[in-house]
Structure 1
Amino acid sequence: MHALLLTHGTRGDVQPFLALARALADAGHTATVAGPRSYAALAADHAVAYHPVDDGPNTLMDDPAMKGVMETGLRGLRGAAHTVSLLREITPLMRRVYADMAATVDLGADVVVHIPGMPGAHIAERLAVPAVPVALQPSWVPTRAFPAPGVPWPERAPGALNPLTYRLAALALRGQRGVAEDLRRELGLASRPGRNDPLLRPDGAPATVLHAFSRHLLPAGAHYPPQVRTTGFWFAPPDTAWEPPAELEAFLVAGEPPVFVGFSSLPTLDPAATGRVVTAAVRRAGVRAIVAAGRGGIDAAEAEGDVLLIDRAPHERLFPRCSAVVHHAGAGTTGAAAAAGRPQVVCPFWGDQPFWAARVHDAGVAPVPLGGRRLTEDGLAAALTEALTGPGTAARAAELGERVRAEGGAREAVRVLEEVAPPGPAG
């Protein structure tokens, strides 16, 4: 079986697909990942065949307009205005991404696996092979158990109305329909009902959906239909070739395990101010810390002694050597922190992050979430102390880690794909 894997976004959107490609290779199959050009080097590090496409909306991460997004988290009236503005900017950028994705038809495949925002269903239809959409967060398949993560919704709204929020989430793809229709014409595909619904097969039947996250972090009572398979988080094998730089290794062995602090690729309003808050908070809590600058969201350049500033490091290698993980509650980082079995301090900014922050808090492995956009020294110091000394927190985190690791999410996803597209000559 040869699988074509289509994704786009930040590292948290790309890395799970690299993990799936590795799991497919371990099972005797082949795979090509198509994703943002800026992550081609990451794919090479994972020894995965990669088809680079235009970076598209990723280029907006350094746009000054993103400060407004960080201020509002896309909530409230100002957030709604920012959402409309953002969608207008994204549509022409997605046209370039779709054009590059269209070229993957020439690669051939026995199955196309894709996030809902990518034209995987159209490309699969052109190749006459199954398409399998992947949800990296539970925002696509309706349930009464909780509203769609990332959709602003009153907390006390009746659960019977929760399915409506998934329709609202799907509206995020509506702006791409014109782009998708152009792609279909380019591929020679005819119009048909439901052609822009990634959860439907061309014959109108429900598509198999892969939930690439842990069932142990879902609220009770989701009751997904049988075609939805919640596999667990997709983790790549640990990068055994990576060795900590000498300065990082020296810091790790110089004292008690440090806490990790990092907000991945998120731009904060004032990276220097965020760095000062983080540095002061960890010192008030009496702990050592490794601070990851990421794409510049935290600038702790003046840190020294008990605080070490790094660019980045593999989470699966670093987190197990830390005492706690402070992060933005993105799905990928949440999964890595959970798998490491470490207490967490979650500081969500926007999108699905408040959902994951609430889930790890409800699991008893993190204090009440802190607002990432309004992080304070007092709040972070108190949360760190609670995470590290709270009764039973460390034990619950370790137990959750065992459950998450045992799921083997990427391997389970391969088994599902073998059911959908049994191995043929290409495998």
Structure 2
Amino acid sequence: MLKTVVKQFQRLFSEMQHTSLCVMQDGPTKVIQEEVESVPWELRGTKEFNQLRKLLKDSTPYAFGIVLKSAVNVPELSRRRRATVPRASATILAPPLAAGAFCGGPAAMVAGLAVGATAYGVSRGRMNAKYPNGFCDPVALVEILHQEETLAAARSHVATKTRNPVWNQTLSLPCASDPHLMQQGCSWARRDRKSTKLAAARNVPPAQWDVEATTVRVTLYDKSVGPMNQTIGEVSIPLRQLLEDSETEATYLLSDAAGEAVLGTQPPHLPCKISLSVVQESLPKNWPAPHMLKSNSSTRYPVHVFMMTRGTRGDVQPFVALARGLAERLGWLVTICTEESHAAFVAKHSVVQNGKIRFRPSGGNTEARMDTVGAHFLLAHRAEFLQMIALSRSEAEFFSSATVFVDSVKAMESEPKPVDLIMFGFTLAGVAALVGEHCQKPVVGLILQPSCIPSKVEDWKAIHAIHSPDGKSLLDTIDEMAFTSHSSLKLLKDLAEKNPFASWNLNRLRKLFGLGPANTWQAYNQAKVPIIIPMPPGTFQRPQDWPSNIIQTDFIFLRSQASGEKKSLGEVGGFIEAARQAGKKLCLITFSSMPVPRRTLLRIIVKMVSEAKFDIAVLYVGRIEEGPEDLERAARQFKEQNRFFEARAVDFGLLFPEMDCFVVHGGLGTTVEALRTRKPCCVTGPLLMDQRFWGYVCHEKGVGPKPVFISDFEKHCVEFVNNAVDPEDPERWQAIARDGDWGNVEDDGIEENVRCIQHLLSDLEPLVTRSEAQEDSWSQKQWLCCSTGRVSEPERPVEDTSSNHSVRLAAELTSSQGVTPERASGPKAFPPAARL
């Protein structure tokens, strides 16, 4: 059909070239014009149609053309078996009564449907598999969206029996409402079926689209599946980005309903990607030309750094700050591969005068998972056992992105500047070793959670125990003994990452790429892989058995980009000024994105304001929800008295220096920013993993009380604020905070971290791990979970310090700060008896 239409267009075009448009207004020209006007909407986005329009100099309505080229690694949604290796995680929806027959794991009842975690274990008979060999019938739906409103939609033809469909089909948007087209969708009554989405399109002409606010969404379906959900995955592309990529062979990663990358069924389970481009001739005149949107692609960059990180915004932000430094100061190309939910954040800070920063998706959505029932259960319970389970699974949760990272690095080999260096965060340590070794690239770690790095030192804990201020119980004592040490962490990490019964298994992933099993941290130490901790020496008591490849630098922050306008705090600034004029002390409470119950928060604020023996004003910055009416009424009264103010977001760089004391959740950024103001600081909240670490840092440094959970802080909030603002300073928090040295508020630490990486680069070599000679059998595992249990980590290697570049760099960095590597003393080093 398409070939016939193209031939017809070519015939008309040939006739037009032999016809004088300026002289002949009737006859053949008029006939040709009538034929062009009769072309259906579905074909008006093609290159040939627009060429005819230009020759005719006619205003015949046209459409925006998208060339749907091909897709690779499309997984079939049938033939799922428990014994198979990891496959795509496309979510299956089934009636509740049949949930057990379709899903391999437990299901949760949601709105009359059973939601299975993945498609594992589904019976082929139940799924009505069309092809016994696992092929599928891919079909794509393309929608033009503006704030979830469908402006136009079109679908491709079905590519039968293939995992790598090639369409090479031009889709015209908008297209006419064709009844026959509507009947070709799915047959079950679901509001997200293709036919319903096509019918919902308003068919708005492209000239009326807002290029900056319009999104192109491509959804891939499998028509070979029976009456089940045929959705394989989807990808949303900003229209502006699609125009920028139109001159390149751009491919886009598909994600499933949970945000995870859709992976192919065949080993090594590479990601499913789709390629498409725009028809240049179909672009409206009021749109910017693609070459005007695209940056200069001929620029040559001396080094290409590939940063891989997954997690919350706090995990991504330091990498963005470092990327800006590497680009601006050194002119490097930096690719940040992280979750799609952070794409806008990365793009916001990617505007640089030198070098280049770009985003690539890794799949996943950690922030959405933080709102799940399981995440709320973890936040609501304080047991160290649960914290240890979460920490042990911190890497295993992201194994689904392993092949995405490999595919991204390999794909960049064909670019003008291939990847020269891989940098990773602590949640991807094992995956980074796999990617670096398989792709033969050097790797460097940027670890903001030093407590996750193993050590045999008895006082070095993986999880810091938090007890009630009223004392700890027998269960608390047992919990602390059994689930805080690195021996416990290693045992549970092996169970989570190397469990032979798990779908995602680190050793199995390595085997997919021809690599043998390896112990991650042992491999890094043996290969002397630099592990950068952006914290100056003395921030914590460094374990004595850490090898020299673990390097401490300086705190790194992402500052707001310079602006010609004078920055202001707005209404918050007015609140602060009024409080100062009234002689009030200011206390800031912020928990960032951590979900703290509104009821608990308001009780703390009301109690602090009404019971403190000093006149204070409280400012809260963070999530704002609706609480109990009596507490909300009391909060409104304090607002009217100018004693309480709340805001969802404020520039902390401007706000923090105005405060007299702080109540923070223990994130590295907010905690260090507070300490740099040299004011008392208390850490409270849900207290997950490294938040506990920073809580103990504040206490051991003497700038605040011991960290407590938010429910316990309610009992002691008045005591904290009284001691924090009392002119007599009974706890000496104020004096110690004034004498502390946490760096200047204006210093973002980027220069030192950039210098460190630049020094390391010259001596880095591709990672080569030494495979474990023999995997420990499960029967030989030591099922001991106590702090005195043996840690099977390697002894500190004997090194030639005269030739080791990491040692030389560490000595250089510490000497520049006026300290020695052996006895580094930054912000008041811990005494031996107070080691963390």
What range is the shorter-chain TM-score in?
0.7 to 0.9
Higher helix share: 1
Contact kept, 8 Å, 2:684 with 2:695, in 1: the verdict is yes
The question of whether the paired residues in 1 share the 8 Å contact of 2:666 and 2:694 is answered with yes
2:344 to 34, 41, 66: 41
The verdict on how the C-alpha distance between 1:54 and 1:163 changes in structure 2, with shifts beyond 3 A counting, is closer
Q: Which amino acid aligns with 1:94?
A: F
Which of the pair has more CA radius of gyration? 2
Query: Where does 1:339-378 land on structure 2 (aligned, <5 Å)?
Result: 339-348=676-685, 349-376=687-714, 378=715
Of stretches 166-175 and 113-122 in structure 1, the one that deviates more from structure 2 is: 166-175
Indicate whether 1:246 and 2:559 are aligned. Answer: no
Q: Is the 8 A contact 1:344 1:366 kept in 2?
A: yes
Q: What's the counterpart of residue 386 of structure 1?
A: 723
437, 441, 447: which one pairs with 1:125? 437
Equivalent in 327, 331, 334 of residue 664 of structure 2: 327
- Among 516, 526, 547, the alignment partner of 1:225 is 547
Q: Distance in 2 between matches of 1:298 and 1:275?
A: 8
Q: Which amino acid aligns with 1:293?
A: G
The SS at the match of 2:367 is helix
Q: Distance in 1 between matches of 2:478 and 2:328?
A: 44
CA distance in 1, matches of 2:522, 2:325: 24
8 Å contact from structure 2 (residues 579, 643) kept in 1:
no
Q: Is the 8 A contact 1:294 1:311 kept in 2?
A: yes
Instruction: Name whichever of 170-179 and 93-102 sits farther off.
Output: 170-179
214-223 or 35-44: bigger deviation:
214-223
1:372 partner amino acid:
I
Residue segments in structure 2 that go unaligned for 5+ positions in a row: 1-302, 351-356, 413-417, 466-475, 765-836
How far apart, CA to CA, are the structure 1 residues paired with 2:644 and 2:405? 43
Worse-superposed segment, 34-43 or 143-152: 143-152
| SS of equivalent residue, structure 1 residue 329 | coil
Q: Given the two structures, how large is their TM-score scaled by the length of structure 2?
A: 0.44
Q: Specify the alignment match of 2:623 in structure 1.
A: 294
Q: What is the aligned-residue identity percentage?
A: 21
Change (3 A) 1:239 1:74: farther
CA 1:329–1:223 in 2, change beyond 3 Å: closer, same or farther?
Answer: same
In the alignment, does 2:598 pair up with 1:271?
Answer: yes
Residue identity matched to 1:192: G
Q: CA deviation at 1:368?
A: 2.8
Equivalent residue, structure 1, for 2:408:
104
Instruction: Find the counterpart in structure 1 of residue 523 from structure 2.
Output: 200
Aligned partner (choices 446, 459, 479) of residue 146 of structure 1 = 459
* Contact 1:214–1:404, Cα closer than 8 Å, also in 2: no
Between the aligned partners of 2:329 and 2:492, the Cα distance in structure 1 is 34
Aligned 8 A contact 2:497 2:506 in 1: no
How far off its partner does 1:363 sit? Answer: 0.7
> Alpha carbons of 1:333 and 1:129: their partners in 2 closer, same or farther (altered >3 Å)?
same
Corresponding residue pairs, total:
411
Taking structure 1 as reference, are residues 411 and 367 closer, same or farther at Cα in structure 2, changes over 3 Å only?
Answer: same
Q: Is the 8 A contact 2:498 2:505 kept in 1?
A: no
Q: Cα–Cα, structure 1 residues 423 and 204, in superposed 2: closer, same or farther, change >3 Å?
A: closer
Partners of 2:376 and 2:317 lie apart in 1 by: 26
Distance 1:84 1:353, change over 3 A: closer
8 Å contact kept, 1:364–1:393: yes
Aligned to 1:420, what secondary structure does the other structure show? helix
Change (3 A) 1:27 1:239: closer
- 1:159-183 residue CA offsets vs partner (Å, 9 max, x unmatched): xx95535635754655789354565
Give, as a single letter, the amino acid of the residue that structure 1 aligns with 2:405. Answer: M
Secondary structure class of the residue paired with 1:200: helix
Partner of 1:178: 504
1:385/1:32 CA distance change after superposition, 3 Å: farther
The match for 2:805 is none
Distance 2:478 2:690 in 1: 15
Separation (CA, whole Å) in 1 of partners of 2:456 and 2:329? 33
2:415 is matched with which residue?
A: none
Asked whether the equivalents of residues 316 and 340 of structure 1 are also in contact (C-alpha less than 8 Å), the reply is no
Secondary structure (helix, strand or coil) at the match of 1:217 reads coil
Against the structure 1 CA distance between its residues 151 and 416, is the aligned structure 2 distance closer, same or farther, given a 3 Å change threshold? same
Cα displacement (A) at 1:17: 1.0
8 Å contact 2:672–2:742 — kept in the other structure?
A: no
Query: SS of the residue aligned with 1:215?
Result: coil
| Worse-superposed segment, 283-292 or 168-177 | 168-177
| TM-score (structure 1 length as normaliser) | 0.82
Query: Cα gap change, 1:340/1:129 in structure 2, threshold over 3 Å: closer, same or farther?
Result: farther
Which residue in the other structure is 2:756 paired with?
416
Q: Does 1:114 align with 2:440?
A: no
Structure 1 contact 213–409 (Cα < 8 Å) conserved:
no
Q: Which amino acid aligns with 1:279?
A: V
Q: Does 1:24 align with 2:326?
A: yes
Following superposition, the deviation at residue 136 of structure 1 comes to 0.9
Letter aligned with residue 122 of structure 1: L
- Higher RCO (CA 8 Å, separation ≥ 6 residues): 1
Residue type matched to 1:236 in 2? L
Amino acid at match of 2:441: V
**1:240–1:289 Cα change, 3 Å:** farther
Per-residue CA distance 1:66-106 (angstroms, 9 max, x = gap)? 33212323425xx37x9489959x95x63544354344313
1:69 aligns with 2:359: no
Instruction: Give the distance between the partners of 1:307 and 1:192, measured in 2 at CA.
Output: 59
Q: Does the 8 Å CA contact 1:259/1:289 hold for their aligned counterparts? A: yes
- The SS at the match of 1:206 is coil
> How far, CA to CA, are the matches of 2:627 and 2:348 in structure 1?
25
Distance 1:64 1:33 in 2: 30
Matched AA of 2:455: P
Partner of 1:336: 673
Deviation of the 1:423 alpha carbon: 10
Deviations 1:211-256 (A, max 9, x none): 1234332036646321110112211234444944521221122223
What is the one-letter code of the residue matched to 1:271? R
For 2:457 and 2:617, how far apart are their aligned partners in 1?
A: 43
Are the structure 2 counterparts of residues 143 and 137 from structure 1 closer, same or farther at C-alpha, using a change threshold of 3 Å?
A: farther
- The worse-fitting range, judged by mean Cα deviation, of 246-255 and 227-236 is 246-255
SS of equivalent residue, structure 2 residue 373: coil
What is the root-mean-square deviation in Å for CA atoms of aligned residues? Answer: 3.7
1:110-166 Cα distance to aligned partner (Å, 9 max, x none): 1111013222222222332211122211121415163334266969999xx955356
Range 415-424 or range 252-261, more displaced: 415-424
Instruction: Give the AA of the match of 1:255.
Output: A
Whether the 8 Å contact between 1:140 and 1:166 is mirrored in structure 2 is no
